[in-house]
A and B are shown apart, each in its own frame.
Chain A
Amino acid sequence: MGGNAQTRWWTDAGVGYVVLDNPPMNVLSDENRRGIRDALEEFRRDDVGAVVLTGAGDRAFCAGADLGEEKHLTDDTVGAFLARGEQTFRIIRDYERPVIGAINGWAMGGGLVLALWCDVRVGSTRAKLGAVGVKVGLMASNVQLSRLFPEGRARDMLLTGRTVEAEEAYRLGLLSDGGALRQGRAAGIDVHGVHRPPILGEPGNAVGGIEAAGEGERDDWPVRLHNA
């Protein structure tokens, strides 16, 4: 268990949880980058079976880079800034156990990159994903989306920066386990045959079941997650 100003993490029943908590939109801060790194190091020492990465609240998983932070970069600092971002993605990509992205709201720009480096993505009805970089003259997640999708779909998302909402995301395969979502049953992600992350395994949970995620449940689940 640990945390910093904008990240919290803990272990429960053999599963590590990391929550990005940088309200209102959980833009990816240096605290978050450090938090992800420290949390995964701790989980590795504790030999957890799987990791769940999510965002605090019900608005955003991670809204990407902090444009405010980026605005202050100079020629001297931009290189280190980029390296820190890359390192965070690499830590998730190279982690030895499955990392599950629980997409509880907006995942855009760098937040989508983060989500795509997770092994499995499940989402709530509020999940909204977009490769929005193109709208501000940037681009990211081109290679990830091209390898995940039929290429035409990747181009459509990447070149227009359009938003894909939860239901379409399940249909396209951007989020997993549409069957569970349609039926509102447990997501059934059985990690290593032993550990079933509680927030994924309980019927009627917003992360596990899109239809079960009614208004009440939706408000409830991040709170439960924080208190777990």
Chain B
Amino acid sequence: MREIASAGVVIAVIDGPCAGAELERALHADIRVAADSATFSADGANDVAACAGRLAQLLGEARAKEIVLGMRTFDAANALRLGLVTRVVPAAALADTARALADTLAALPPLALPAIRESVRAARQLTPDAALALEHRHFCRLLTTRDHKAAVAAFFERRPAVFTGE
């Protein structure tokens, strides 16, 4: 497993067995992509309770318990089905997939990305109304940014936009 960061977004690239401490690290990435040969297990985690808690956040309690208490090792297809990873590709294509994903992120106007991450966190930490209010505040702020206006202008002029992070 390796991690790449692009525009502040962490991508876990999982190409083989991902167990214990490696799984714990992967769970804190924003996006997880895996080779079809990857396997997953919580066995050997440094902090089993924290690992279980994070899995419950990501996948729901029943699935988290099955993985941690059931000591299950599962393959990439199952990880995709559970929502533990979001993309599975042949091992030979994994590096290109990760690179393309990083390039996609790097080309986006950058200000929305931290706002999305914060809103996703808020969705599980705050009440629904409080999380929606936070999201709405971010939306109002982003609507006034130079990057958003540049994106709209570029859309109407059918040309690529240039973003400055303002």
Which chain A residues have a beta carbon within 8 Å of chain B's beta carbons? Answer: 67-68, 70-71, 78, 82, 86, 133-140, 142-143, 146-147, 149-156, 158-161
Which residues of A lie under 8 Å from residue B109 when comparing CB positions?
134-137
Which residues of B lie under 8 Å from residue A152 when comparing CB positions?
30-32, 58, 83-86
Q: Is B48 an interface residue (CB 8 A)?
A: no
Q: Is the pair B119, A139 in contact by a Cβ cutoff of 8 Å? A: yes
Cβ proximity bits B114-138 to A, threshold 8 Å, 1 near / 0 not: 0111011011100010011001101
Q: How many A-B residue pairs have CB under 8 A?
A: 123
Which residues of A lie under 8 Å from residue B139 when comparing CB positions?
82, 138-140
Contact of B108 among A68, A134, A149 (CB under 8 A): A134
Cα–Cα, bound, A201→B127 (Å): 36
Query: If A138-B143, A143-B123 touch, does A159 touch B152 (CB 8 Å cutoff)?
Result: no
Which residues of B lie under 8 Å from residue A136 when comparing CB positions?
109, 148, 151-152, 155
What's the minimum C-beta distance from A94 to chain B, rounded to whole angstroms?
A: 12
Contact of B113 among A68, A78, A134, A143 (CB under 8 A): A134
Q: Is the pair B135, A82 in contact by a Cβ cutoff of 8 Å? A: no
Which residues of A lie under 8 Å from residue B112 when comparing CB positions?
133-134, 137-139
Q: Is the pair A82, B86 in contact by a Cβ cutoff of 8 Å? A: no
Interface centre among B30, B83, B116, B138 (most CB of A within 10 A): B116
Q: Majority SS of interface residues in chain A?
A: helix
Additional A-B contact list (16), CB under 8 Å, known A67-B156, A135-B108: A67-B152, A135-B151, A136-B148, A137-B147, A137-B150, A137-B163, A139-B116, A142-B135, A143-B135, A146-B120, A151-B123, A151-B124, A153-B86, A155-B31, A159-B31, A160-B105
Which residues of A lie under 8 Å from residue B123 when comparing CB positions?
142-143, 146-147, 151, 154
Which residues of A lie under 8 Å from residue B135 when comparing CB positions?
139-140, 142-143
**Chain B residues with a Cβ closer than 8 Å to the other chain, count:** 50
Which residues from 13 to 34 on chain B have a C-beta closer than 8 Å to any C-beta of chain A? Answer: 30-32
Cα–Cα, bound, A91→B26 (Å): 40
Q: Is B60 an interface residue (CB 8 A)?
A: yes
Cα–Cα, bound, A149→B108 (Å): 23
Q: Is the pair A86, B145 in contact by a Cβ cutoff of 8 Å? A: no
Which residues of B lie under 8 Å from residue A67 when comparing CB positions?
152, 155-156
Cα–Cα, bound, A41→B84 (Å): 42
Q: Is B9 an interface residue (CB 8 A)?
A: yes
Q: Is the pair B104, A160 in contact by a Cβ cutoff of 8 Å? A: yes
Which residues of A lie under 8 Å from residue B150 when comparing CB positions?
137
What's the minimum C-beta distance from B6 to chain A, rounded to whole angstroms?
A: 10
Which residues of B lie under 8 Å from residue A142 when comparing CB positions?
116, 119-120, 122-123, 135
Could you give 9 example pairs across A and B, Cβ below 8 Å? A82-B140, A137-B112, A137-B151, A138-B112, A138-B142, A139-B112, A139-B138, A153-B86, A155-B120
